[in-house]
Amino acid sequence: MNAALVALAAKHRPDVVWIEKGTWVYPPVLRTLRRYARFLVHYNTDDVFGSAGRFRLARWGIPHFDLQLTTNRFNVQEFRSRFSVGTLRVGMGFDPALHRPPPPESAGLAPGAIVFLGHCEPHTEKYILALSSAGLPVRVWGGTWDRATTPGLRRIQPCSQDEYAPTIARAAVALCFLSRANRNESTGRSFEIPAIGGCMLAERTPEHEYLYREGAEAVFFSDAAELVRKARYLLDHQEERHRVARAGRARCLALDLSWGGHIAREWPLVERLLVGDRLRPGVDDAPFWPGFRAAEPFCGEPTETNDEAPGTAGSEVGSIVAPPAEFVGGKRAERA
């Protein structure tokens, strides 16, 4: 692979070599690539400085890049302080070809249940056990569950890509847990679940509070007790969870949080940074909050949503109403 990469660069002599998750690109190869390309750009949606050992080579190669693109807020400052390399925070998103409401005949793997599709970490195991102990119908698919401390969870396997969207769409509730190993404040599921049309019950973070109006476009929790309480409420209130699912999807579409939407906004920023231009604070942070590109955390009030957002039909959005008291929790509940 490394030899093929060098051969392609030597043949085409591109302006930019773009490498995604360069876990197997050797640092000497990066040095060689600089003979044939004006700029080297590295793109990663994981925590390069986290506990995952697979990023060892990627860390060694950091100094050879002109620009690091990362979805991880913490990595932005770490790239700059440790390596003095140009860095830009970019958005996480969804793929419209994969993450969309499935056709009516697609039943999914657990219609009407609470589902989680993701890997195992200690806190996700704790949350799944809390739901199960409360007698709630929860089903799980994903990798690394063989590491679970609970023997009954070690048999969990990933589902196929073809079953991913139907399973989320036909579930009563789709869970969005965040990786502690990746230091996530939002994740791919934060965008995939609403885009598919699922009712998302997610960990409460400032980023989630910016993205979705609590109780209207998504539902949030901060601990196991709140998770169980809100999951039970959603199971018992079908119309409310359908309304949350419709509004959450509309929010994703209105902000254009797809991968295509991100690259359309971010490629011009990459070009400007590579030639030494500066970003425009606030303007270039769209569709996120001012300071997003510079890795500043969201500290303000969540963005208000309209019943008829630009680029979407009013019927897609549905009627946004004040969230029920059952949903209200956290410091931003006054938005309701």
Domains (ranges, CATH) in the chain?
2-89 (no CATH), 114-256+320-335 (3.40.50.2000)
Q: Please tell me the pTM assigned to this model.
A: 0.88
Q: Which two tokens stand for residue 51?
A: 């506990």
pLDDT digits (tens, 9 = 90+) for 224-259: 999 999 999 999 999 999 999 999 999 999 999 999
Q: Which two tokens stand for residue 279?
A: 């970003």
3-state secondary structure of 89: strand
Percent of the chain at pLDDT above 90? 85
**Quick one: how far is CA 305 from the chain centroid?**
20
Nearest to 313 by CA among 249, 259, 264: 249
CB 174 within 8 A of CB 159: no
CB 305 within 8 A of CB 251: yes
Pairing of strands 86-89, 114-117: unpaired
Cα separation of 71 and 68, whole Å? 10
pLDDT mean values, one per 10 residues, the chain (336 residues): 96 96 93 96 93 80 96 95 95 97 94 97 98 98 97 96 97 97 96 98 97 97 98 98 98 97 97 96 96 93 46 29 39 32
Cα separation of 233 and 161, whole Å? 29
C-alpha dist (Å) from residue 107 to 20, 111, 164, 292? 34, 7, 11, 38
